[in-house]
Structure formats: C-alpha cells, structure tokens
A and B are shown apart, each in its own frame.
Chain A
C-alpha cells in the first residue's frame, strides 16, 4: 500500500511571498488533515476534510492560509503572504473513515521563511 505523498519536501521563501503544498492521501482514505509542526512542538491541526468538505478549520489562520480538496482526493494548502512565524514542517495525514482512527502521516514539507 502506497503511503501519503507530499511535495515539495523542502521550500525556502522570503516573507510576503506565496507558497503552496500538495498532498496525495492513501487511496480510498476519505479523511485528510493538514498539520503545522513548529520545531520542538507537537503537530497542530490546521484543517480537516471529509471527502471534499471541510470538517474543522477552527485553527487555520484564514487571513493567510487556505486549503482545498476539490475532488475529494488530492489537497493543496496555500500560504499567502508568508510570515517568518510560518516556518515549520507541514504534515499531511489521512485516515480511512470518519471517526477515531489511526492517521497515516506523509513525510512533510519543511518550509523556511526568511
């Protein structure tokens, strides 16, 4: 079974620039999550999709962050404009069904904002 795929793996941008991350979940997984993991901290949920609908985006800074999962499969997370404090690893995870189940994480995208 192929795992969760993410790209790019690394990205360096200047503050005020825009950046986009892509995630392809495990085939058939209905639920998809984006997390932000700042160095030395646990992952923080940004947004959760069930198929192509948003279940929870209460911790997403909506003035600069956006995410979509148009066809209920792949997802993109965008930051526009980026700030220095956005430097973090952005993890995508997926889960087979709705409910309390194991989440499978992708390798993450390490973003550095200079």
Chain B
C-alpha cells in the first residue's frame, strides 16, 4: 500500500518567516495530494490540495508544489503568523479514495 513520509516532524519559525514542509509518497498511482491543518483538540481541515496534472498551486500565503517524477510534494507558507501554529498533515490518495496520511509536522510560529 501507499506509504507517505513527512519531514520535519517539528518546525519553529519566527513570525514573518517562511515555512516549508516536505512529503514523499511511494504509490505512483496516487493522484490527489491534500494538506490538512489540525489545531490542538480540533478536527483536521483542508487548507490546500493539488492534483497530479498540476505542478504548483497557490492560495494567498500558502502554496503547494508537486514533483510526480520524484514522488514528492511540499507545502510552503510565507509571511507566517502566530495563528499558523498547528500540526500539518500531508496525504496522498488514489482514485479509490484510499487516503494515507503523513505523521504530521508541528509548526510553531514565534511572535
């Protein structure tokens, strides 16, 4: 089955700096790559996603890049704010909806 690896496990940045989280996946059939943000004690919420026919997608301060050849994708957050502090999960999914999640990255944005 699919195996998703996520790095780093923890990331601390100063407010205003950029944060980058990287994931790799093993199943070349995966074609959908969402990123979820989970605040403490709350449900995961989708923040951005990308499909396999696109190399990059941006939404305000958040961007995701995908390299299908290398089987890796990354989340980029620019101009970080304290409210960006949370755990971020990447995931990879095939057409049959078999979504596999990474282990998560705890992002701390220091004011």
Q: Which positions in A face B, CB cutoff 8 Å? A: 31, 33, 40-45, 48, 55-56, 58, 91, 95, 98-103, 105-108
How big is the B interface, by class?
20 to 34
Are A101 and B43 neighbours in the complex by a CB distance under 8 Å? no
B21: min CB distance to chain A, Å = 13
Contact with A along B69-111 (1 / 0, CB 8 A): 0000000000000000000010101111111111110000000
B20 at the interface (CB under 8 A from A): no
Are B46 and A43 neighbours in the complex by a CB distance under 8 Å? no
B30: min CB distance to chain A, Å = 8
For the A-B complex with A42-B103, A103-B34 known, give 7 more contacts whose Cβ atoms are closer than 8 Å. Answer: A40-B103, A42-B91, A48-B98, A98-B97, A100-B93, A100-B97, A108-B43
Q: Which 6 A-B pairs have the closest CB atoms?
A: A100-B32, A42-B101, A105-B43, A100-B93, A105-B44, A42-B89
A59: min CB distance to chain B, Å = 8
Are B103 and A41 neighbours in the complex by a CB distance under 8 Å? yes
Q: Which positions in B face A, CB cutoff 8 Å? A: 1, 4, 6, 31-32, 34, 42-46, 49, 51, 89, 91, 93-104
Are A43 and B101 neighbours in the complex by a CB distance under 8 Å? yes
Which residues of the partner chain B approach A105 to less than 8 Å between Cβ atoms? 43-45
How many angstroms from the CA of A63 to the CA of B106 in the assembled complex? 34
Are A55 and B104 neighbours in the complex by a CB distance under 8 Å? no
Which residues of the partner chain B approach A100 to less than 8 Å between Cβ atoms? 31-32, 51, 93-95, 97
Are B104 and A41 neighbours in the complex by a CB distance under 8 Å? yes
Which residue of the partner chain, among B1, B4, B51, B96, contacts A55 with CB atoms under 8 Å?
B96
Which residue of the partner chain, among A42, A58, A99, contacts B104 with CB atoms under 8 Å?
A42
